[in-house]
Amino acid sequence: MTLLARIAAARKAKIARLKPQFGREDGEPRNLKSLEDGRPREANTKVAQRNKAVSPLLRLPAELRNHIYGYVLGGKSICLTSSDGVCIGEIAPCLTPPESGYNGNEEEHGALQLLYVCRQVHAEARLLIFSLNVFRYSKPLPHLELWKQKQPESMLLITIVRLYSNGCTKEAMWLEGLKYFPNLKRVELAVQRMGKRPEGQEAVNEGTDAQGPWEVGIEIRARKEASNHRVQVMFYRRWI
């Protein structure tokens, strides 16, 4: 293999390792054990004990460590999906206001590298992914059903779900997925609107309550489908 070929192969391998998903490694499904039970693979007990004693990070109070974890792991938009029976979370930056009618954002590489620093950091921070971020999905079945079966503890921690509509979405199927989030507090609906923009409205507006019959109907249906029937429903509109 020539030098250029070796460099290209090394670069390809590095990009694969940084692929912004959990549930996969190097593009292939892997066991979710490290995200389910808090035990990183091939953890070394002696190294873990030494880290706990000498690491500047691990010697900080737990409250400060949680703030640091939040800065690293929060502020993301995660799409819950699956492949071949493996739960996958596709990670991207969380845009506000969201880009209405668009199901994904630019991928965020290396988003979960903190979880592989050491055993203690993994155990303390792994579930913050679910409590600190905004989640989205494209199809409730089979993806959310699999997440419910394999990661029930994680699903309990999700409080914000963001859905996207380009005007062609089948709202019944779209909203059915809300029942999979038992502790949901807010639903953000990013809607792409066509036609003449109402006078005084910006081309992209911040989240507001329902406006007009269609949005009121969606709000009622969302609260009906959600386990928490008092869930907050916010609309973000983009006029094109």
Over 50: is that where the pLDDT of 189 sits? yes
89-113 pLDDT, tens digit each: 888 888 776 764 444 445 666 778 8
Across the chain, what does the average pLDDT equal?
A: 76
Q: Tell me, what's the pLDDT at 114?
A: 87
Residue type, 45: T
Positive or negative, the CA dihedral 111, 112, 114, 116 is: negative
The angle at the Cα of 36, spanning 50 to 55, to the nearest 5 degrees, equals: 20
- pLDDT above 70 (res 152): yes
For the segment 2-30, the average pLDDT, to the nearest whole number, is: 50
- Residue 202: what pLDDT? 58
Contacts of residue 231, Cβ cutoff 8 Å, sequence gap at least 6: 178, 184, 185, 186, 187, 222, 223
Query: What pLDDT, on the 0 to 100 scale, is given for residue 182?
Result: 95
The pLDDT value given to residue 187: 93
Q: For the residues 138-167, what does the mean pLDDT come to?
A: 88
Between CA 75 and CA 109 the distance in angstroms is 14
Task: Write out the DSSP string of 55-73.
Answer: -TTTTS-HHHHHHHHHHHH
28 vs 179 pLDDT, higher one: 179
Residue range 43-59, pLDDT digits in tens: 467 777 777 778 888 88
Which structure tokens are listed for 193? 């609107």
pLDDT band, very low/low/confident/very high, at 24 (cuts 50, 70, 90): very low
- From the list 160, 162, 158, the residue with the least C-alpha distance to 97 is 162
